Amino acid sequence: MAVAVSRVPETCRAAKRAARLLARADTAVKDGALEAIALALEERCEEILAANELDMAAGRRAEIGEALLDRLRLDDGRVRGIARAVRQVAALADPVGEVIDGHRLPNGLDVRKVRVPLGVVAVVYEARPNVTIDAAALCLKSGNAIILRGSSSAGHSNLALARIASEAAVSAGLPEGSVSLVAGGGREELAELATQRGSVDLIIPRGGESLKEALQAVATVPVIYAASGNCHVYVDRGAELEMAERIVLNAKVQRPGVCNAAETLLVHEQLAEEFVPRLVAALTGAGVLVRADAASLVLAAGVGGALVEPATEEDWDTEYLAPVIALGLVGSVEEAIEHIARHGSGHSEAIVTGDAVAARAFQLGVDAACVYVNASTRFTDGGEFGMGAEIGNSTQKLHARGPIGLRELCTFKYLVEGDGHVRT
């Protein structure tokens, strides 16, 4: 397997050679490679878990916190889940060669707009070893070579997973260099990878704002940012309170260390007296610290044992990735939309309401990749959206937005056929 420590240009050139062959690979060959990867993951699970325990032990020594440890942790069930996701990607329709549009011009030329692979995709990610396989599966199925660059906190796990994926893919007939891992070179290595304009066609960073800023400073190749998720749930005055409580708890508590978890809760002031104490009790009962604005802080004061602090202006812009949530009151759906416009990251936003007019206003007014009505933000996920897996969730507006799946890893070209046509 290609594992590079300071050989980034060579690794990228090898990936480019592989990409030319992958672009022409039959669907059956690609699907066979994915099945080989899934089977190898299951058969070599002990090897993967042993590597992951080295990373977990280092994380515990470094006191990185439970939320990050949860993102890092693999167990038998999670490895089986990763293998299952690979098979789900294999079962999806091959996007390569899909005709997006086609027509015959008045002069008789036939024009087809056809989906094709991007080429070489580099994925830079932090503390989520499952991304190693999710990204590899999606890239291979869409005919792309992939260069993986994970964080040092998951170094042993990523190395084991990438080695298994690369060996299995090659054994099933895909070219050497289809799956590569670069590791060990720090920020200098990241900068080197981000400037390989002749061989890398796209970089997708999946991590926090510091990673995004580091790439923005140096990248000369195209970048799609799978960026942070400062996600909101707005409980409108028309909400059914039991439903609202269930959605808020799921959005915050189910897995607080991920980008689609809710970080801010907005409540219509007409519901506040009844709903805020109830919700604060439920959240703090689940171990969540609530940082409340002045009005909701007064309403929460009577909740026994509540974990409540005054919110600061900084809280509205914070992606906690932890059992902490900001709580504020608003006077209307328009005020909620305005708050989200000022503080949201464009990832996932939700309204809980029984009012169809308010729901439609929220859908039209909120500028985000995913906008939910009466559902948790936790559904922003390629697997949940039927994509099999995802590389990340784009908060940009060009080319890809929301979960980055197979079609988002393709571009297109025009195929034009004539019969001796010349332009006059």
216-229 pLDDT per residue, tens: 899 999 999 876 79
Average pLDDT over residues 401-424: 95
Checking if the pLDDT of 389 tops 50, the result is: yes
> What superfamily would CATH give domain 2-226+391-417?
Aldehyde Dehydrogenase; Chain A, domain 1 (3.40.605.10)
CB atoms within 10 A of CB 219: 18
Average pLDDT over residues 334-351: 97
408 pLDDT band, cuts 50/70/90, is very high
Window from 72-76, 342-346, 381-385 with minimum mean pLDDT: 381-385
pLDDT reported for residue 311? 96
185 pLDDT band, cuts 50/70/90, is low
Pick from 178-187, 207-216, 342-351, 377-386 the range whose average pLDDT is largest.
342-351
Q: What is the pTM of this model?
A: 0.86
What is the SS3 assignment for the chain? CEEECCCHHHHHHHHHHHHHHHCCCCHHHHHHHHHHHHHHHHHCHHHHHHHHHHHHHHHHHHCCCHHHHHHHCCCHHHHHHHHHHHHHHHHCCCCCCCEEEEEECCCCCEEEEEEEECCEEEEEECCCCHHHHHHHHHHHHCCCEEEEECCHHHHHHHHHHHHHHHHHHHHCCCCCCCEEEECCCHHHHHHHHCCCCCCCCEEEEECCHHHHHHHHHHCCCCECCECCCCEEEEECCCCCHHHHHHHHHHHHHCCCCCCCCEEEEEEEHHHHHHHHHHHHHHHHHCCCEEEECHHHHHHHCCCCCCCEEECCHHHHHCCCCCCEEEEEEECCHHHHHHHHHHHCCCCEEEEECCCHHHHHHHHHHCCCCEEEECCCHHHCCCCCCCCCCCCCEECCCCCCCEECCCHHHEEEEEEEECCCCCCC
211 pLDDT band, cuts 50/70/90, is confident
**In whole numbers, what is the pLDDT of the chain averaged over residues?**
93
Q: Which tens digit of pLDDT belongs to each residue from 88-112? A: 999 999 999 999 999 999 999 999 9
Domain ranges of the chain: 2-226+391-417, 231-379
Q: What is the bridge-based pairing of β-strands 231-235 and 110-117? A: unpaired
Q: What distance in Å separates the CA atoms of residue 340 and residue 344, rounded to the nearest whole number?
A: 5
Pick from 125-129, 255-259, 317-321 the range whose average pLDDT is largest.
317-321
pLDDT reported for residue 4? 45
**Higher-scoring residue by pLDDT: 395, 352:** 352
Window from 32-36, 50-54, 151-155, 329-333 with minimum mean pLDDT: 151-155
Instruction: Tell me the percentage of the chain whose pLDDT exceeds 90.
Output: 82
pLDDT reported for residue 3? 47
Q: Which CATH number fits domain 231-379: 3.40.309.10, 1.10.3720.10, 3.30.110.40, 3.40.50.720?
A: 3.40.309.10
Checking if the pLDDT of 75 tops 70, the result is: yes
pLDDT reported for residue 258? 86
Average pLDDT over residues 41-48: 98
Q: Which amino acid is at 229?
A: G
pLDDT reported for residue 158? 96
pLDDT reported for residue 416? 98
5 pLDDT band, cuts 50/70/90, is very low
pLDDT reported for residue 6? 45
Average pLDDT over residues 41-55: 98
Q: Which amino acid is at 394?
A: S
Q: What distance in Å separates the CA atoms of residue 375 and residue 373, rounded to the nearest whole number?
A: 6
Average pLDDT over residues 188-203: 93
Q: Which amino acid is at 411?
A: T
184 pLDDT band, cuts 50/70/90, is low
**Higher-scoring residue by pLDDT: 213, 170:** 170
Average pLDDT over residues 340-347: 96
pLDDT reported for residue 391? 87
Average pLDDT over residues 366-385: 95
